[in-house]
Amino acid sequence: MQVQKIVIKGMVCERCISSVTDELLKLDVQVMEVSLGQVILQAPFLIDEALIGERLRPLGFTLLSDKRSKVVKDVKALISEMYSGHFDFADHFRFSAFLASRMNMSYDKISNDFYALEKTSLEQFSISFRIDKIKEELVYTNKSLADIAVAFGFSSVAHVSKQFKTHTGLNPSYFRKLKTSKEATQASLSKA
Protein backbone atom coordinates (compact mmCIF):
# COMPACT_ATOMS: atom_id res chain seq x y z
CA MET A 1 0.00 0.00 0.00
CA GLN A 2 1.14 3.49 -0.82
CA VAL A 3 0.82 6.26 1.77
CA GLN A 4 0.32 9.68 0.25
CA LYS A 5 0.35 13.07 1.96
CA ILE A 6 -1.51 15.96 0.34
CA VAL A 7 -1.22 19.54 1.58
CA ILE A 8 -4.43 21.58 1.27
CA LYS A 9 -4.79 25.36 1.44
CA GLY A 10 -7.96 26.84 2.91
CA MET A 11 -8.71 24.38 5.69
CA VAL A 12 -9.37 26.53 8.75
CA CYS A 13 -11.92 24.72 10.92
CA GLU A 14 -13.41 21.37 11.92
CA ARG A 15 -16.14 21.78 9.29
CA CYS A 16 -13.39 21.98 6.64
CA ILE A 17 -11.98 18.67 7.87
CA SER A 18 -15.44 17.12 7.65
CA SER A 19 -16.04 18.50 4.13
CA VAL A 20 -12.69 17.26 2.83
CA THR A 21 -13.21 13.84 4.43
CA ASP A 22 -16.67 13.52 2.84
CA GLU A 23 -15.33 14.39 -0.64
CA LEU A 24 -12.48 11.91 -0.34
CA LEU A 25 -14.83 9.15 0.76
CA LYS A 26 -17.01 9.89 -2.29
CA LEU A 27 -13.91 9.20 -4.39
CA ASP A 28 -13.60 5.83 -2.60
CA VAL A 29 -10.22 6.81 -1.17
CA GLN A 30 -9.01 5.26 2.09
CA VAL A 31 -8.38 8.19 4.42
CA MET A 32 -5.86 7.57 7.18
CA GLU A 33 -5.89 11.06 8.66
CA VAL A 34 -7.35 14.49 7.93
CA SER A 35 -6.10 17.49 9.86
CA LEU A 36 -6.04 21.21 9.21
CA GLY A 37 -4.03 21.70 6.05
CA GLN A 38 -3.22 18.11 5.21
CA VAL A 39 -4.61 14.71 4.34
CA ILE A 40 -2.88 11.34 4.57
CA LEU A 41 -4.29 8.68 2.24
CA GLN A 42 -3.57 5.01 1.75
CA ALA A 43 -4.09 3.15 -1.51
CA PRO A 44 -2.48 0.37 -3.54
CA PHE A 45 -1.31 3.07 -5.99
CA LEU A 46 -0.64 6.80 -5.96
CA ILE A 47 -3.90 8.74 -6.12
CA ASP A 48 -4.41 11.34 -8.84
CA GLU A 49 -4.01 14.63 -7.02
CA ALA A 50 -5.53 16.53 -9.96
CA LEU A 51 -8.81 14.66 -9.49
CA ILE A 52 -8.81 15.41 -5.76
CA GLY A 53 -8.04 19.06 -6.53
CA GLU A 54 -10.99 19.26 -8.95
CA ARG A 55 -13.33 17.86 -6.30
CA LEU A 56 -12.09 20.16 -3.53
CA ARG A 57 -11.86 23.39 -5.55
CA PRO A 58 -15.65 24.08 -5.53
CA LEU A 59 -15.51 23.86 -1.73
CA GLY A 60 -12.87 26.60 -1.60
CA PHE A 61 -9.80 24.39 -1.08
CA THR A 62 -6.61 24.29 -3.14
CA LEU A 63 -3.90 21.64 -3.21
CA LEU A 64 -0.43 22.91 -2.46
CA SER A 65 2.38 21.19 -4.26
CA ASP A 66 5.61 22.08 -2.59
CA LYS A 67 8.99 21.06 -3.97
CA ARG A 68 9.56 18.36 -1.36
CA SER A 69 6.20 16.75 -2.11
CA LYS A 70 7.09 16.68 -5.80
CA VAL A 71 10.47 15.12 -5.04
CA VAL A 72 8.81 12.40 -2.94
CA LYS A 73 6.16 11.76 -5.59
CA ASP A 74 8.83 11.51 -8.32
CA VAL A 75 11.00 9.21 -6.20
CA LYS A 76 8.07 6.88 -5.52
CA ALA A 77 7.25 6.79 -9.24
CA LEU A 78 10.87 5.92 -10.08
CA ILE A 79 10.98 3.23 -7.39
CA SER A 80 7.76 1.79 -8.77
CA GLU A 81 9.25 1.82 -12.29
CA MET A 82 12.55 0.29 -11.18
CA TYR A 83 11.02 -2.42 -9.05
CA SER A 84 8.16 -3.36 -11.36
CA GLY A 85 9.92 -6.63 -12.08
CA HIS A 86 10.71 -5.55 -15.66
CA PHE A 87 13.57 -3.09 -15.14
CA ASP A 88 16.90 -3.94 -16.78
CA PHE A 89 19.46 -3.51 -13.99
CA ALA A 90 22.94 -2.73 -15.32
CA ASP A 91 25.99 -4.44 -13.86
CA HIS A 92 27.03 -2.65 -10.66
CA PHE A 93 23.72 -0.76 -10.60
CA ARG A 94 23.60 1.95 -7.94
CA PHE A 95 20.18 3.14 -6.81
CA SER A 96 21.58 6.45 -5.55
CA ALA A 97 23.34 7.26 -8.84
CA PHE A 98 20.25 6.31 -10.85
CA LEU A 99 17.96 8.58 -8.79
CA ALA A 100 20.39 11.51 -8.85
CA SER A 101 20.79 11.18 -12.60
CA ARG A 102 17.09 10.82 -13.42
CA MET A 103 16.00 13.63 -11.10
CA ASN A 104 18.97 15.89 -11.85
CA MET A 105 19.55 16.49 -8.13
CA SER A 106 22.09 15.36 -5.58
CA TYR A 107 21.21 12.12 -3.85
CA ASP A 108 21.70 13.81 -0.46
CA LYS A 109 19.05 16.43 -1.31
CA ILE A 110 16.65 13.75 -2.58
CA SER A 111 17.24 11.61 0.50
CA ASN A 112 16.81 14.53 2.93
CA ASP A 113 13.57 15.70 1.27
CA PHE A 114 12.24 12.15 1.27
CA TYR A 115 13.02 11.64 4.95
CA ALA A 116 11.56 15.04 5.91
CA LEU A 117 8.14 14.10 4.52
CA GLU A 118 8.02 10.32 4.86
CA LYS A 119 9.86 9.89 8.18
CA THR A 120 11.67 6.87 6.77
CA SER A 121 14.87 6.58 4.79
CA LEU A 122 14.84 6.09 1.05
CA GLU A 123 16.68 2.82 1.55
CA GLN A 124 14.08 1.47 3.98
CA PHE A 125 11.21 2.58 1.75
CA SER A 126 12.84 0.97 -1.28
CA ILE A 127 13.49 -2.31 0.53
CA SER A 128 9.94 -2.44 1.91
CA PHE A 129 8.52 -1.72 -1.54
CA ARG A 130 10.64 -4.48 -3.08
CA ILE A 131 9.74 -6.98 -0.36
CA ASP A 132 6.01 -6.29 -0.90
CA LYS A 133 6.39 -6.83 -4.65
CA ILE A 134 8.36 -10.03 -4.11
CA LYS A 135 5.65 -11.34 -1.76
CA GLU A 136 3.15 -10.86 -4.60
CA GLU A 137 5.44 -12.68 -7.04
CA LEU A 138 5.88 -15.60 -4.65
CA VAL A 139 2.15 -15.97 -4.03
CA TYR A 140 0.83 -15.31 -7.53
CA THR A 141 3.51 -16.63 -9.93
CA ASN A 142 5.63 -19.73 -10.43
CA LYS A 143 8.89 -17.82 -10.85
CA SER A 144 11.86 -19.12 -8.92
CA LEU A 145 13.24 -17.07 -6.06
CA ALA A 146 16.48 -16.67 -8.02
CA ASP A 147 14.61 -15.13 -10.99
CA ILE A 148 12.60 -12.90 -8.67
CA ALA A 149 15.77 -11.74 -6.86
CA VAL A 150 17.34 -10.66 -10.16
CA ALA A 151 14.13 -8.97 -11.36
CA PHE A 152 14.00 -6.84 -8.22
CA GLY A 153 17.66 -5.89 -8.11
CA PHE A 154 18.93 -8.18 -5.37
CA SER A 155 22.40 -9.66 -5.76
CA SER A 156 21.45 -13.18 -4.68
CA VAL A 157 18.81 -15.44 -3.17
CA ALA A 158 20.67 -15.19 0.16
CA HIS A 159 20.39 -11.38 0.03
CA VAL A 160 16.62 -11.56 -0.60
CA SER A 161 16.17 -14.14 2.15
CA LYS A 162 18.08 -12.01 4.66
CA GLN A 163 16.07 -8.88 3.79
CA PHE A 164 12.84 -10.89 4.00
CA LYS A 165 13.67 -12.25 7.42
CA THR A 166 14.71 -8.79 8.67
CA HIS A 167 11.60 -6.98 7.38
CA THR A 168 8.85 -9.56 7.74
CA GLY A 169 10.17 -12.01 10.30
CA LEU A 170 9.39 -14.75 7.77
CA ASN A 171 11.27 -16.62 5.06
CA PRO A 172 10.32 -16.38 1.36
CA SER A 173 9.32 -20.05 1.50
CA TYR A 174 6.40 -19.07 3.76
CA PHE A 175 4.89 -17.00 0.94
CA ARG A 176 5.47 -19.80 -1.58
CA LYS A 177 3.55 -22.11 0.78
CA LEU A 178 0.70 -19.57 0.78
CA LYS A 179 0.53 -20.03 -2.98
CA THR A 180 0.39 -23.79 -2.61
CA SER A 181 -2.34 -23.67 0.04
CA LYS A 182 -4.30 -21.10 -2.01
CA GLU A 183 -4.15 -23.40 -5.04
CA ALA A 184 -5.21 -26.40 -2.96
CA THR A 185 -8.18 -24.46 -1.58
CA GLN A 186 -9.21 -23.35 -5.06
CA ALA A 187 -8.92 -26.91 -6.36
CA SER A 188 -11.07 -28.29 -3.54
CA LEU A 189 -13.68 -25.56 -4.09
CA SER A 190 -13.86 -26.28 -7.81
CA LYS A 191 -14.44 -29.99 -7.10
CA ALA A 192 -17.30 -29.22 -4.71
In a domain, residue 184? The reply is no
Neighbours of 167 (CB within 10 A): 14
Per the structure, the complete domain to which residue 53 belongs is given by: 2-65
- The CATH number of residue 133's host domain is 1.10.10.60
Burial 28-40 (b: 16+ CB within 10 A, else e): ebeeeebeebebe
**Residues 116-143: tens digit of each pLDDT:** 888 899 999 999 999 999 999 988 888 9
Same domain, 119 and 131: yes
Q: pLDDT, tens digit, for every residue of 71-123?
A: 888 899 899 888 887 888 777 788 889 899 999 999 999 999 888 888 899 99
Q: Is residue 190 a part of any domain in this protein?
A: no
Q: Does the pTM exceed 0.75?
A: no
